[in-house]
Structures are given as C-alpha cells and as structure tokens.
C-alpha cells in the first residue's frame, strides 16, 4: 500500500506550529532553564545504554505537543508499519525498503511479494560466518598456499562508506587482518593501496549492488590486472569475492559463483552495511562482533517501532530537526562525536541524509513549497572545537548540533577521557548560555583593563548563546551500541521523509552527472570536444591540450 500523501504545510499542526514559532523564536533557553528546574527530566529519554538529553532546544512542552501532532497528522504510525512490513514504499523504484529485515530475529516473518525473506537473510549470514571464520583462522588460502593478511573492499557510496565507517569505528575490536578501502576512480587512490599489498596474501571483496558502477568496475579491473602480473587467470577465483545482486556480471568478471554473496533490491545502497555489504566488517572484527552490531540495530528498530512517539528517540530527534529546518530556517546540522573512532560517522551519514532527503518533488510529483533535507556535516570533538566551532558559537547561522559521547573510554585512560568529556559537556553549556556583556565586563574589571580597551573589545567577546544541541551519551562504544546509533539516524531519516512527503529511498539526482561523465569521457578519448556551454568547452580544451 502506498504511503499517505499530504503536503505538511497544509496540516493543522503545521499552521499551529507557525503561530507557535512566532512566540518561541526569541525565547531564551537559559531563561527557560532558570524558570523550570524539571526541564531536563521532562526532555530526556533513557533507553538501554543511551541517555538522550534534548532539553537544550528552543522548545517547551507545547512545541513538543505540536510536533507530535504533526507526526500523527502525517500518519507516521501507519507509515512505520508499512516500512517494517515490506510494503513498496520506495514507489518510484517499485521496491520495499527492508534494511530492518537484515537485522531481524530468525523467527521474524517479513514478506516481499508474498515470500518470507528471513530464511534467505539467515542463509547469507551463515555464509558470511563460515567465510569469515575460514579467512580469520587462516584456513582459506591464496594461490601460493599462504593465509590472507589483507582485505581490500572495492566499492563506492553505500558499498564503501558504511563498511569503512564501521571498521574504523570498531578498530578496538579488530583482529590481525589489515582492511583497506578503495573507492575513488582517482587512480592515485588505488595505486596508494596497491603499494601496500602482497598479491599472494590479499583478498579482494568487490562490493557493488548493481555491478555496473564505473568507479568500482574500473578499480576492480586495475586491481585484477595488477594481480595477474603475479598470478594466473584461474587464481582470480581464490582472491576475488563479490557482494552483488548481479550474478551474471560478477561471474563474467571471473568470480566463482560460490564466492558471491547475494543482496536484494529491497536493500538500499546507503542502508546496506547490514547485508553482505558488511562482509569486510565481519572479516575485520569477526562474525560475533558483526552480529552484535546487527543486534544493536535490531534493538533500536524495536524501540522505534513500538515506543510511544513522546519517548521515541528517532521520532523526537527527527521532529526537532524539522522544527529548526522548517520554522527557524536552519540550513544545516552538525554531528560531533567525542570519539576519534567515529571520525567517519558524519561523512557516512551525509549519504544517508542527503541522498535520501535531498529531494524537491513531493509524493505527487509536484515541486515542494517548503524546505526538505538538511545538510549534515561534522568532525570529532575536540578537534572540531579548534576548527569550525567559532562559527557555531559566534557566526550568523543557526546550526543545531548533536553531541555524541561515551561514559567509558575503551583503553581505560581516565585522564584523557575526563578531559575529552569535560569539553563535551562544556561545549553544550557554552552554546546554551553564551556569555553576556555583563559577564565579559566583569572579567575586564577583574583584569583591570582600561575603559577604552574594554569598550572596544566587549562586542567581540560576547556570545549570544541560545544555540540548540542534543546530547547523546552512551555507556561505551561497543558493536551493539554502534548498531543502535546508526539505526537511530536511519529512522530519523525515515521520519523526516514521511513528514516532508517525499520519497526518501531513490536517488535519481546522482544520475545526470554520471550520464554526462560518460559522454565527456568519449570526447576525451577521441580528443574531440563537442558543443557545450563555453565554460565547459574552455575547460575541456585546456585539459586536452595540457594533459
């Protein structure tokens, strides 16, 4: 059944939110905290190992009630059922959206076209487990009889970002295998990786849902060519495995059909790390840890599916984001993990958020007359504090920010961790309260600064504060916690797409550039520049003349 189809701006809740915004836009969060010391107990959610404090937002109970009304008027509950039940909610591609089935229990019964997909999911999981154990234990050998030491994941977009992010994030749990990622069609990328490899002991995992992606095929061919300088054609089958839906193209490449890990068209690329696309994760951290990642995601799925909206983490975070995006006019959101391990989380989620909700046509095929997808960006704290925090504190743009931190460090270094976390807490407090002119003046007085100097410097040292933040404080960075965290953001994406009345699970916007690149490549190869706009022609001619 199709998703509902309502322009959110025509809902009663939206009209009420618009009026309510007039009252709230200049309200001081500090004042609200001062007035009501129950604010945090009202605006936080404790779930499993997660404590989500969203009290540092420009909201009151009425805001929340109206946002929840908007969710209800947008038929969110019904849409969630359709999402989890495998309805064809990716209507422009006529597909279900079932990454949640990949982490469901073995007893689940989730049907696509009348067929329960769970047995097949578990068959592939069991294949991943056997393969992982053979490689990790050294039982699976390369063409000279040596065990594998290095794994290379060749893929791009969803076939790279998820595994690369998770392998980086969970490196504390890693085994002896070195895992590399080749994604960019930039030949310097693949050559830098090849430099580190021994063909006798390297296993290549080609990940491409379609097996037609230019970058992945080009990199795979370059690597195979390099491999064949030391090995024979028949050795390809021992060193190359693939994750794909396109068995024909995979076997044409020379991969043994036994070494193909299938995936399904109901798994979107940017949500695919839970499928065999995560094979390099399983190889890096072992199958049990990989399975824990999936279990963590499944627990978040259950929370999202069953919890009342006012205590539902993905729903609340999605609604707050809509509040800023559509009423305050915020253009972007930052995501700041206070963990170096999570340095790839923001780039990974950029695909999730921006490929999904970067749409300007609604579910009627009509241009939207309101803002949709937010721009997501971020870097770990504390590094980011020394880079772009200046703009968040004192710039002209409103940037709602998620702070993600952990109670316990992995290596148990308390000194470092306490310093890290004191920054984590200090930043959200500073963003909330800012620093008033009176406080700045008091500091000047204490320092004995001359009146002239003080009056010159004062405006530069004032912080307006009132910058919204969410704090996600998790007990420890475990595979399970990471699984829950990623699933949280996946569901936030879903909720926003439902309310914005757009299709979140296609990505037609990446096609045009691909098509043009193909025809420009023909022109470069034939050294014959066709007619373009004068800028493109000028640049192409310069490139051809100087290459």
By CB under 6 A, the count of residues binding ligand F6P is: 14
Between the CA of residue 71 and those of 297, 323, 330, 361, what are the distances in Å? 23, 12, 20, 20
CA pseudo-torsion sign 355, 483, 155, 99: negative
Q: Of these residues, 77, 146, 476, 514, which one is catalytic?
A: 514
Under the criterion CB under 6 A, does residue 213 sit at the interface with ligand F6P? yes
3-state secondary structure of 446: helix
Which listed residue (142, 199, 269, 278) binds ligand F6P by CB under 6 A? Answer: 269
H or E element in which residue 214 lies:
helix 214-227
CB of 159 to ligand F6P, least distance (A): 4
Would you call the peptide bond into 382 cis, given omega within 30 degrees of 0 as the criterion?
yes
Part of the chain binding ligand F6P (CB under 6 A), chosen from 59-67, 207-215, 253-261, 364-372: 207-215
Q: Considering the rule CB under 6 A, would residue 95 count as an interface residue with ligand F6P?
A: no
Give the CB-nearest residue to ligand F6P.
Answer: 269
Closest distance between ligand F6P and the C-beta of residue 165, in Å? Answer: 13
Closer residue to ligand F6P, CB minimum distance, 159 or 202: 159
Residue from 6, 74, 216, 321 that binds ligand F6P (CB under 6 A)?
216
Considering the complex, state which of residue 100 and residue 275 has its C-beta at the smaller distance from ligand F6P: 275
Q: Binding to ligand F6P by residue 484, rule CB under 6 A? A: no
Long-range Cβ contact pairs of 187-192 (< 8 A, separation 24 or more):
187/222, 189/219, 190/219, 190/222, 190/223
Residues whose CB falls within 8 Å of the CB of residue 148, separated by 6 or more in sequence, listed in order: 135, 138, 140, 141, 142, 177, 201, 202, 203
Q: How many CA atoms lie within 13 A of 461 on its CB side?
A: 14
Using the rule CB under 6 A, is 156 a contact of ligand F6P? yes
Query: What's the CA gap between 524 and 19, in Å, rounded?
Result: 56
- Per DSSP, 211 falls in state S
CB of 183 to ligand F6P, least distance (A): 9
For residues 192 and 178, give the distance between their C-alpha atoms in angstroms, rounded to a whole number: 15
* Residue 496 binds to ligand F6P (criterion: CB under 6 A): no
For helices 451-461 and 437-447, what crossing angle results, to 10°? 140
Among residues 70 and 243, whose Cβ is nearest to ligand F6P? Answer: 243
Q: Is 491 in the site for ligand F6P (CB under 6 A)?
A: no
With CB under 6 A as the contact rule, the residue among 11, 210, 340, 536 that binds ligand F6P is 210
234 is catalytic: no
| In the complex, least distance from residue 189 CB atom to ligand F6P, rounded to whole angstroms | 16
Residue 507 interacts with ligand F6P (CB under 6 A): yes or no: yes
Residues 343, 72 contacting (CB under 8 angstroms) = no
355 carries an active-site annotation: yes
Task: Name every residue whose Cβ is closer than 8 Å to that of residue 1 and which is 6 or more positions away in sequence.
Answer: 82, 87
Stretch touching ligand F6P by CB under 6 A, among 24-32, 170-178, 204-212, 386-394: 204-212
Strand order in the sheet with 44-47: 44-47, 50-53, 469-474, 401-406, 332-337, 375-377
Q: Quick one: 17 or 276, whose CB is closer to ligand F6P?
A: 276
Our answer to whether residue 386 is catalytic in this structure is yes
Other beta carbons less than 10 A from residue 212's beta carbon: 11
Choose the stretch contacting ligand F6P; rule: CB under 6 A; options: 33-41, 115-123, 157-165, 400-408.
157-165
Q: Residue 426 or 510: which CB sits closer to ligand F6P?
A: 510
| Member of 510, 516, 517, 521 binding ligand F6P (CB under 6 A) | 510
Name which of 29 and 128 has its Cβ closer to ligand F6P. Answer: 128
Closest CA to 272 of 208, 212, 215: 208
Kindly tell me which residue out of 56, 209, 467, 492 binds ligand F6P, with binding defined by CB under 6 A.
Answer: 209
Q: Which residues bind ligand F6P (CB under 6 A)?
A: 156-159, 208-210, 213, 216, 269-270, 355, 507, 510
Catalytic residue set: 355, 386, 514
């Amino acid at each position: 059944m199709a998703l509902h189809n309502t322009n959110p701006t025509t809902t009663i809740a939206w009209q009420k939110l618009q009026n309510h915004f007039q009252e709230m836009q200049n309200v001081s969060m500090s004042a609200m905290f001062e007035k009501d010391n129950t604010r945090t107990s009202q605006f936080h959610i404790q779930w499993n190992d997660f404590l989500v404090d969203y009290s540092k937002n420009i909201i009151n109970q009425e805001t929340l009630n109206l946002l929840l009304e908007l969710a209800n008027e947008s038929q969110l509950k019904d849409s969630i059922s359709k999402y989890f039940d495998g309805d064809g909610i990716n209507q422009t591609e006529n597909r279900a959206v079932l990454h949640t089935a990949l982490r469901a229990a073995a007893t689940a019964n989730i049907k696509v076209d009348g067929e329960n997909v769970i047995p097949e999911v578990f068959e592939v999981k069991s294949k991943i487990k056997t393969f992982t154990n053979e490689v990790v234990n050294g039982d699976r050998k390369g063409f000279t009889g040596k065990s594998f030491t290095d794994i290379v994941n060749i893929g791009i977009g969803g076939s790279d970002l998820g595994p690369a992010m998770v392998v980086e994030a969970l490196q504390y749990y890693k085994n002896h295998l070195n895992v590399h990622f080749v994604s960019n069609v930039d030949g310097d990328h693949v050559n830098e990786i090849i430099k580190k490899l021994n063909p006798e002991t390297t296993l290549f995992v080609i990940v491409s849902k379609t097996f037609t992606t230019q970058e992945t095929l080009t990199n795979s061919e370059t690597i195979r060519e390099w491999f064949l300088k030391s090995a024979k054609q028949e050795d390809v089958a021992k060193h190359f495995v693939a994750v794909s839906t396109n068995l024909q193209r995979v076997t044409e490449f020379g991969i043994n059909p036994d070494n193909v890990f299938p995936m399904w068209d109901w798994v979107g690329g940017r949500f695919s790390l839970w499928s065999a696309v995560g094979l390099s994760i399983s190889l890096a951290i072992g199958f049990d840890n990989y399975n824990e990642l999936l279990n963590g995601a499944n627990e978040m799925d259950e929370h999202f599916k069953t919890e009342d909206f006012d205590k539902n983490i993905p729903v609340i975070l999605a609604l707050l984001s809509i509040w800023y995006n559509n009423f305050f006019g915020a253009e972007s959101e930052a995501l700041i993990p206070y963990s170096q391990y999570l340095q790839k989380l923001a780039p990974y989620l950029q695909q999730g958020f921006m490929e999904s909700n970067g749409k300007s046509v609604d579910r009627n095929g009509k241009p939207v007359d309101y803002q949709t997808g937010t721009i997501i960006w971020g870097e770990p704290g504390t590094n980011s504090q020394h880079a772009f925090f200046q703009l968040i504190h004192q710039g002209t743009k409103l940037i709602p920010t998620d702070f993600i931190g952990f109670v316990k460090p992995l290596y148990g270094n308390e000194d470092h961790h306490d310093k890290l976390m004191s920054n984590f807490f200090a930043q959200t407090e500073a963003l909330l309260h800012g620093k008033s002119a009176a406080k700045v003046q008091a500091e000047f007085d204490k320092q004995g600064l001359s009146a002239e100097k003080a009056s010159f410097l004062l405006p530069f040292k004032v912080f307006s504060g009132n910058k919204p933040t969410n704090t996600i404080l998790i007990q420890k960075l475990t595979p399970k916690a990471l699984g829950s965290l990623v699933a949280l953001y996946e569901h936030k994406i879903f909720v926003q797409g439902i309310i914005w009345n757009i299709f979140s699970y296609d990505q037609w916007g990446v096609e045009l550039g691909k098509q043009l690149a193909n025809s420009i490549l023909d022109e470069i190869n034939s050294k014959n520049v066709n007619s373009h706009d004068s800028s493109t022609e000028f640049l192409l001619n310069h490139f051809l003349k100087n290459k």
